Every structure is written in C-alpha cells, then in structure tokens.
Amino acid sequence: MDARFLKGIEEFNRRFFFEAHDLWEEIWVETVGDHRIFYQGLIQSAVGFYHLSNGNLKGACSQFGKALAKLELYLPEYHGLDTRSLVESLRECRQDAEEMRNGSRTRFDDTKIPQIVLVR
C-alpha cells in the first residue's frame, strides 16, 4: 500500500483535511483504472470537510455529494478501507450541512466527522 495513502488517512483522521487532500491527489494523478475514481472520492470527502471547517456550506454540500457518488461504487470495503462506515458518515454530514445551509440547523456537530478505518 502506498505510504502516501496511509499518511492521507492519518491526516484525515487528525482533521488535517487539506493535507489529506494533497497526499491523495499526488496518488490520483499517477493512477489509472478503478482506483482513480476511488481516490477522487476520498479527495472530495476531504475537500468537503475543509469547506465545512471554513463555513463554505455550498462547497461542502457539493463535495460531499460528489464524494458519495464515487465512494458508493466501492462498498462495503475497498483497498483495505471500510467504505461502508465512511459513506454512512458522509451521508449524515451532508444532511447536516444541507440543514445548516437552509437555516434549519445552526451548528454542525463535529463529532460526526468520520474516522477512516482500515479493515486489513
């Protein structure tokens, strides 16, 4: 497994979303085939949380939606990663961000931000 992939997971789990995005993007540009879409989904999930942390709700909702469309192709696990739990958490976070965007929720519960779990 690429060390940058693992470091990206570590950065994501530490909530260093920009750094996770950068690491995974390095791999993405070198990748062909099915892994490419998978990495793009991870990148978009990190960018979504980066936008959310900066108050860009429109950007967060957009990126979460794009990430979900890609990562849902790789359920329940892929490349050693528990995609099912990640996708479930992303759905919930997107819903909360949408509610904040439309004014029915005032604050995001950051305990809902997922930890990426390796299964192998």
**Domain boundaries in the chain?**
3-112
pLDDT tens by residue, 62-111: 999 999 999 999 999 999 999 999 999 999 999 999 999 999 988 999 99
Phi, psi dihedral angles at 45 (to 5 degrees): -65, -45
pLDDT tens by residue, 29-52: 999 988 999 999 999 999 999 999
Q: Report d(CA 47, CA 54) in Å as an integer.
A: 11
Q: Report d(CA 39, CA 30) in Å as an integer.
A: 11
Residue type for 6, please?
Answer: L
Domain at 3-112, CATH homologous superfamily: TTHA0068-like (1.10.3450.10)
